[in-house]
Amino acid sequence: MLNDSYGSVTSADGTSIGYRMIGKGPGLILVQGAMGTATNYDELARSLAASFTVYLPDRRGRGMSPLAYNPEHRIRRDIEDLASLVDHSGAPYIFGLSSGAIIALAAAAVLRPIEKAAVYEPPFVPEGISHPAIKQFNELVEQGRLAAALVQASRIVKLGPKILAYVPQWILRFGTQRLMYREQRQGSGRYAPLSELIPAMRYDFNVVGSMDGEASSFAALQKEVLLLGGDRSPDYLKSALTTLEKVLPNAQRIEFEGLDHSGPWNMDRGGNPEPIARALISFLVTDNPVASSCTI
């Protein structure tokens, strides 16, 4: 049975980036998105561990990489964090989900040791994300109104059941507040609490907001890239993958039936990581090429 080990690296600005490691083989770094930590990738990592040494870093501001939010944060800091782990591990492969997918692509574009990248639904918003809405989210976090901030975030990213768009915000805030109270009393188990994850979303909105209309900037990325997504995800995420499929010179694409934006996560977090693991293994280390665009 494979056991996890733990470590940390120091980024260019002195930030400590903690990670877990499991498996044996060429290195593969998994970069998480918003509302999760490395723990959300446990099942995906274990499905990959027979083929790779899997590195699960926590992005700055959460989990094993605690750091107070800096409003001057830019995506280059996330790239530097990954550069430190790549230098330490020699990992040639990278995978990212959501905002972590944007970071993974940006890292693959500038870090020479990375040979291939796979990304799950990077949120390049065609019309641009609402910066006033992000500003309001940040203000709610600073005021300590975390339930209201999470409702605001849900409106921005348009995830969750479509019916939520028609539910009055006060009802959503009330339900979120009750969930947070219950979590405070009973704990959040192995997962990071909402009280940590909601403030950390400021990093995610910073990354996504800074990349408005920037999908075309990856046209010079010559490395092989696997684009992944679910058929139950919002249309704007599918459009982002379509744009990247046209822009990237060496891209392949898979759409998974029955999966949504949480597909790579553990099953008790709404994911189904097994088919994603199979696709990653096929793309990264086997001689079986993925069809240029397919649904499975």
What's the pLDDT score for residue 147?
92
The residue ranges of the chain whose pLDDT is under 50 are: none
User: What are the boundaries of each domain within the chain?
Assistant: 5-127+212-295, 131-208
User: What string of H, E and C letters represents the secondary structure of 50-107?
Assistant: CCCEEEEECCCCECCECCCCCCCCCHHHHHHHHHHHHHHHCCCEEEEECHHHHHHHHH
Domain 5-127+212-295 has CATH 3.60.110.10: no
Instruction: Record the pTM.
Output: 0.92
What's the pLDDT score for residue 169?
75
Pairing of strands 16-23, 27-31: unpaired
What's the pLDDT score for residue 36?
93
What's the pLDDT score for residue 3?
72
Nearest to 84 by CA among 4, 24, 6, 29: 29
- List, for residues 51-103, the tens digit of each pLDDT value: 999 999 999 999 999 988 998 899 999 999 999 999 999 999 999 999 999 99
